């Protein structure tokens, strides 16, 4: 274990949709943490050597048959433990308390009222004895276990926070990890920094230094290849590995014709020009357009694009003599979600193509220097490595690129129209100061024509849809309330400057029921 990982919080996941947010909040306190399923063995937990443990929420009731349990030995480790929602109920039941169905369930905002002196965990949490919190529960603690005291309550939950300071055991019925609990981040920081006594070593500079040392130890003098997409994750991975091993890194940049305006040239200028990274650019636009010809199904388009990329990457990788390693920009949410997909313990999960090993025929070892990091941490170390801020902090871009932002069949003509419209849209968002207030914004090409009038003539041209959303976790999202004047200016510019477009619409759908991307 490196010095950087010597302070570490273990989060045991009981199936909550918010568990990743707990981990992110702990990391924001500059303390390293890992998320593992609730049935992690005691041998594994002891080997992890946690400075503290957090028990997450979950969809079950602790009194149900088959409800996820917790082992007695966990409480004999002598480290602070915080139970959240289901975790608090589990803590209560384990020590002899009683959990029952609530007479009135609580979902959403509630006012938490302090009872007596709240103690160290809630230092600064309450203002004049109350605090706003987010609740999501149908059960509550009816009988408090011996040795615990009630710290706070709400109108519907008389036992909403408990503590046993002598044993460093704490429980809260609300969710401190979500943004709807304004002081929740403070509470979690207090737990990991003050109660668990972690000093906060997990900083961008130290993360970079630690990663560089580990890459050098892993790779030695061997050669590494990396598929550079121009996205944030692969870009930061490339910059980090290059800092560690220099010319031993060989990047392959496949220009598939589905990128944003001038993106290929920008990637080459940043990496090959400014950073001195060895990058082979493959101009494969025609192969992708030919492969996508006639296909309209979104999932089939994704597979075509993905398979072509692998084929072309393998062709180029074969040109790198003595390559022993394949580097990927896998990040921690990919690892968590794919683990959930395998175990069946997570509820909102998806599998990721770059997690879980490589095909046997590739005969390469896998290098994933970002697999411990969340997206915001990846961005922070990207800046630490000197990547352009506009590249590091730009909005997400799907792996298949414009292939899933051109609805229906993908044609070069459609991509060219969409590229120019999207560039105008993003340029205006920067100019008006909206870009960094929006979580994700992009244009979509609709393969339908509508009647218009330009000058004295009738037109029959395509439609561009604009999308902009606000979100914290991308699981849910609301449409961004763009000022009408700004929408009018963007629409006017696109229609006047992009030949082939005579109508612009703005998407005001939330997720759910819609998704963020259109395909």
CB atoms within 10 A of CB 349: 15
Whole-angstrom distance, CA of residue 190 vs CA of residue 364: 44
> Does residue 46 sit in helix, strand or coil?
helix
Bridge partners of 133, per DSSP, are 110
Residue owning tokens 């990919």: 334
* Residue 234 labeled ligand binder: yes
* CA 257 remoteness from chain centre: 26
Q: For residue 189, with 0-12 CB atoms within 10 Å meaning exposed, 13-18 middle and 19 or more buried, which class applies?
A: buried
Q: Which residue has the tokens 């603690």?
A: 141
Active site residue 415: no
Catalytic annotation, pick one of 7, 34, 177, 428: 177
The three-state secondary structure class of 203 is: coil
**CB contact at 8 A, 278 and 250:** yes
For residue 145, the 8-state DSSP code is P
Does residue 137 carry a catalytic annotation?
A: no
Element of type H or E holding 358: none
Any known ligand binding at 230?
yes
Q: Which of 421, 424, 429 is nearest to 446 (CA)?
A: 421
> Alpha helix locations (H) across 158-231?
184-190, 204-219
Burial class (CB in 10 A: 0-12, 13-18, 19+), 496: exposed
Annotated binding residue 233? yes
Q: Is 166 exposed, middle or buried (0-12, 13-18, 19+ CB in 10 A)?
A: exposed
Backbone phi, psi, residue 430, to 5°: -65, -45
What's the burial of 165, exposed, middle or buried (CB within 10 Å: 0-12/13-18/19+)?
middle
189 assigned ligand-binding residue:
no
Give whole-number Cα distances, 445 to 50, 90, 157, 422, 508, in Å: 50, 51, 50, 10, 16
Quote the strand ranges of 21-74, DSSP E: 32-37, 52-55
Task: Provide the β-strand partners of residue 224.
Answer: 249, 325
438 vs 507: CA distance, rounded Å? 14
294 is an annotated ligand-binding site residue: no
Is position 232 annotated in a ligand binding site?
yes
- C-alpha distance from residue 67 to each of 53, 58, 90, 392, 426 (Å): 20, 10, 10, 42, 48
Half-sphere exposure of 236 (CA within 13 A, CB side): 31
Looking at residue 425, what DSSP letter applies? Answer: H
Q: Choose the catalytic residue: 94, 137, 140, 175.
A: 175
| Residue 66 annotated as part of some ligand binding site | no
Burial class for 422, CB neighbours closer than 10 Å (0-12, 13-18, 19+) = buried
**Exactly one of 7, 33, 34, 85 is catalytic; which is it?**
85
> How far is the CA of 33 from the CAs of 85, 184, 268, 412, in angstroms?
20, 17, 35, 46
Residue 175 annotated to the active site:
yes
Binding site members: 229-235
Give the catalytic positions in this structure: 85, 175, 177
Binding site members for ATP: 229-235
């Amino acid at each position: 274990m490196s010095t950087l990982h010597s302070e570490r919080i273990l989060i045991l996941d009981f199936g909550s949709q918010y568990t990743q947010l707990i981990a992110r909040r702990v990391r924001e306190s500059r303390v390293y943490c890992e998320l593992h399923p609730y049935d992690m063995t005691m041998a594994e937990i002891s080997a992890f050597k946690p400075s503290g443990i957090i028990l997450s929420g979950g969809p079950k009731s602790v009194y149900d048959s088959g409800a996820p349990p917790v082992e007695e030995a966990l409480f004999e480790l002598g480290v602070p433990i915080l139970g959240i929602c289901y975790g608090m109920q589990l803590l209560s039941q384990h020590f002899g308390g009683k959990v029952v169905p609530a007479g009135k369930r609580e979902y959403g905002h509630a006012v938490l009222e302090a009872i007596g002196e709240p103690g160290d965990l809630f230092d600064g949490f309450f203002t004049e004895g109350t605090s706003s919190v987010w609740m999501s529960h149908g059960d509550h603690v009816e009988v408090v276990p011996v040795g615990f005291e009630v710290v706070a309550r709400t109108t519907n939950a008389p036992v909403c926070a408990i503590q046993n300071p002598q044993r460093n055991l704490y429980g809260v019925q609300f969710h401190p990890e979500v943004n709807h609990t304004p002081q929740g981040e403070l509470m979690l920081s207090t737990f990991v920094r003050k109660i668990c006594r972690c000093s906060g070593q997990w900083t961008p500079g130290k993360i970079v230094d630690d990663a560089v040392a580990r890459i050098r130890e892993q790779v030695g003098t061997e050669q590494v290849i990396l598929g550079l997409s121009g996205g944030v994750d692969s870009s930061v991975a490339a910059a980090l590995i290059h800092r560690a091993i220099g010319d031993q890194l060989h990047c392959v940049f496949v220009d598939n014709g589905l990128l944003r305006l001038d993106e290929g040239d920008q990637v080459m200028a940043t990496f090959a020009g400014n950073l001195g990274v060895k990058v082979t650019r493959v101009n494969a636009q025609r192969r992708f357009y030919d492969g996508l010809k006639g296909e309209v199904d979104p999932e089939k388009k994704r597979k075509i694009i993905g398979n072509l990329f692998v084929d072309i990457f393998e062709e180029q990788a074969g040109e790198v003599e003595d390559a022993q390693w394949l580097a990927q920009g896998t990040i921690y949410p990919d690892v968590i979600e794919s683990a959930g997909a395998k175990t069946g313990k997570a509820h909102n999960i998806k599998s990721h193509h770059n997690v879980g090993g490589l095909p046997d025929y590739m005969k390469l070892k896998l290098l994933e220097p970002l697999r411990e990091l969340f997206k915001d941490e990846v961005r922070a170390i990207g800046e630490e490595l000197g990547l352009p801020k506009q590249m590091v902090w730009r909005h997400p871009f799907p792996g298949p690129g414009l292939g899933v932002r051109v609805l229906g069949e993908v044609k070069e003509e459609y991509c060219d129209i969409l590229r120019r419209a999207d560039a105008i849209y993003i340029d205006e968002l920067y100019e008006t100061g909206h870009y960094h207030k929006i979580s994700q914004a992009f244009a979509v090409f609709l393969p339908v024509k509508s009647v218009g009038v330009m000058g004295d003539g009738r037109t029959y041209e395509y439609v561009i849809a604009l999308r902009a959303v606000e979100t914290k976790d991308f699981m849910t999202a609301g449409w961004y309330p763009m000022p009408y004047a700004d929408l009018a200016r963007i629409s006017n510019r696109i229609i006047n400057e992009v030949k082939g477009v005579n109508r612009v619409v703005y998407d005001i759908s939330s997720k759910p029921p819609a998704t963020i991307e259109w395909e």
